[in-house]
Amino acid sequence: MALWLAVLLVIVGLWLVLYLIPDLLFHHLQLGAFAGSREQARVALTFDDGPGQDTGDVLEVLQGLGVKATFFVIAERAQAQSALLQRMVSEGHELGVHMDRHVSAFLLWPWQSYRMVRRGLDSLERLTGQRPKLFRPPWGHMNLGTWLAVRRFGLMPVYWDIAPDDWKPAHSSAYISHYVVQMAQPGTVVVLHDAGGPRDRTVAALPTMIAGLRSLGLEPSSVGSLQRDPSLLRRVWTWWEIRFTRGWDIETIPNSLGGEPYLRIGHIRYRGRPVDLGGGVVLTRGDAMGEIHFGNPALSQLSGQAVSGLRALHGILAAMGDLARWMEVNPGYQDVRAVGGVTLLDAARAIEKLGFRREPVHGWTKWSMWIYLVFLMAIYHRDGWKTLRRFRHLKPVMVLIERQEFVERYSRPRNRGRGPR
C-alpha cells in the first residue's frame, strides 16, 4: 500500500512540475508574454493554424484594406502551401511559429514539445529565410518542454486578449465582427483563424471589423508594430476590463472627433433609491438605465488639472452628442428611463455642468465604487499612485439625467458643443 501511494505521489508531482505549473505560470498568468501598450492606438490582428484553404482570401481582404497582420503558422502546413507563406512575407505580414504540428502540449511529452517548436522554427526559416521571433502554442497550452524551447530559442510568447471563437459554426460573421469591435482597446491582441476548417465567416467579418476598429480610432496592425507594455498591473487591468465588457455587454461609442472613445454604455437595472429626474419622471428600483462608463483618458483628464479638464470637457461635449444619437437609433436602449453612472466627486462637478443631477451613493456601492475608481485612476492618471493622497478625500456620487432630456439636449446638430442650456 505504501509503495502504491509513493508511486501515486511521484506521478502527481511529475504532472505538476511538467504540465500544470508551467501552463498556469506561462499560459494563464502569461509571465514573460507580450502585452501591448495602452499608449498606442493600435490593435493587433493575429491568425492561427494556417496556411489553409481560406488564407488567400484573408490576404486579399487585408491587402485591399491596407492592413498588416501576424500569422502564427503550422510549419507542416506551411511546407505543403509554401506559396501562401511566401505571399504573407512579400505583402509585409509578420510570421510567428505555431509549432510544427497542431497538437496540444498536454498530449505530448515535454521533450516532444521542445522538438516540435525547434522543427517549426527550422522549417519556417528554410522556407522564408527568416527565423520567427514570435510564438503561440496551440490552444495556448504549455508544458515544461515548451517553456524550455521558448527560453532556448529566444522566442516571445504571444497570447490574446480578444477571442471571438470564429471557429465555432454558430458564430456568424456579424457576431465575430461585433465581438471584436466591442471588446477592442488600445494594445489588445485579437486571435482569429485562417485554417483548421472553413473560415469563410472570418473572411466575411474582416471588412466590417476593420472599419469598426478604425471608427474607434484604433488601427489594426501586426504584433510587431505594437509597443510592449512593461506594467504587469496594467496587463491585469486590461484582462479585467475586457471580461467586464463581455460580461455586462458594454458598447463602445465611436468618437466623432477621432481618437480613443470617451464613452461606453451598458444596459442595467437601477438599484438605488427613487430619484426625481424632473418633468414628472421618477427613476425607481428596477427601471432600465443606460450606465455610462468614461474612457480612461477622459477620467484621468477630468480628475487632473484645470487645463486638461477643459480639454476633456470639450471632448465629452462631443461624445455626449455621439451617445445621444447612438441611443436614438439603437433598439436595445429605447426602454431606458435615465442615463448616468457613478463617478468621483471632482469629476461629478464637471459632469453636473452637462445637465446631470447629482445623487449620493450609499452603503456597499459607495465604498466598492470608491475603491474601484481610485484604483483605476492610480493606474491611468499621469501621476500614478502619487494621486492616492488626493483621492482619499473624494467621494463617489451618482450622476443622472432623464433619457429624453439627454437625447433632446445633445442629439441635434445645432446643440452640439453647446452643452447645458
DSSP string, 162-215: B---TTSTT--HHHHHHHHHHH--TT-EEEEESSSS--HHHHHHHHHHHHHHHH
C-alpha cell at 126: 528554410
- Position 42 confidence tier, pLDDT thresholds 50, 70, 90: very high
More confident site: 310 or 43: 43
Residue 327: pLDDT over 80: yes
In Å, what is the CA distance from 76 to each residue of 85, 92, 99, 353, 378?
12, 22, 9, 62, 47
Residue 403 has pLDDT above 90, yes or no: yes
Lowest mean pLDDT among 133-147, 296-310, 318-332, 375-389: 296-310
Q: How much is the average pLDDT of 224-230?
A: 89
Say what the pLDDT of residue 305 is: 45
**Class of the CATH domain delimited by 2-234:** alpha beta
CA torsion angle 301 303 308 310 (round to 10) = 100
3-state secondary structure of 318: helix
Question: Residues 27, 142: contact at Cβ < 8 Å?
Answer: yes
pLDDT band at residue 420 under the 50/70/90 scheme: very low
Q: How far apart are CA 99 and CA 72, in angstroms?
A: 9
Q: What is the pLDDT of residue 183?
A: 87
Q: Which residues contact 316 (CB under 8 A, 6 or more apart)?
A: 262, 263, 294, 298, 302, 351, 354
Instruction: Report the run of H or E that residue 339 belongs to, with start and end.
Output: strand 338-344
Cell numbers placing 180 = 471584436
What pLDDT is recorded for position 259?
Answer: 67
135-153 per-position pLDDT tens digit:
999 999 999 999 999 999 9
Q: Which residues have CB under 8 Å from 330's CB, separation 6+?
A: 251
Residue 139 CA to residue 148 CA, distance in Å, equals 18
Mean pLDDT (the chain) is 85
Instruction: Give the least confident one: 135-139, 172-176, 233-237, 335-339.
Output: 233-237
SS (H, E, C) 251-305: EECCCCCCCCCCEEEEEEECCCCCEEEECCEEECCCCEEEEEEECHHHHHHHCCC
Q: Which of 57-66, 130-139, 251-260, 276-285 has the lowest mean pLDDT?
A: 251-260
Which tops the pLDDT comparison, 105 or 313?
105
Is a pLDDT exceeding 60 seen at residue 297? no
- Domain boundaries of the chain, sorted by first residue: 2-234, 248-415
d(C-alpha 234, C-alpha 240), whole Å: 10
C-alpha cell at 283: 427613476
Residue 269 burial (CB count, 10 A): 10
Q: How far apart are the first and last CA of the chain?
A: 84
pLDDT, residue 182, reads 86
Q: 195, 72 in Cβ contact below 8 A? A: no
Predicted structure pTM score = 0.79
> What amino acid is encoded at 176 in this protein?
I
Q: What is the mean pLDDT of residues 97-114?
A: 95
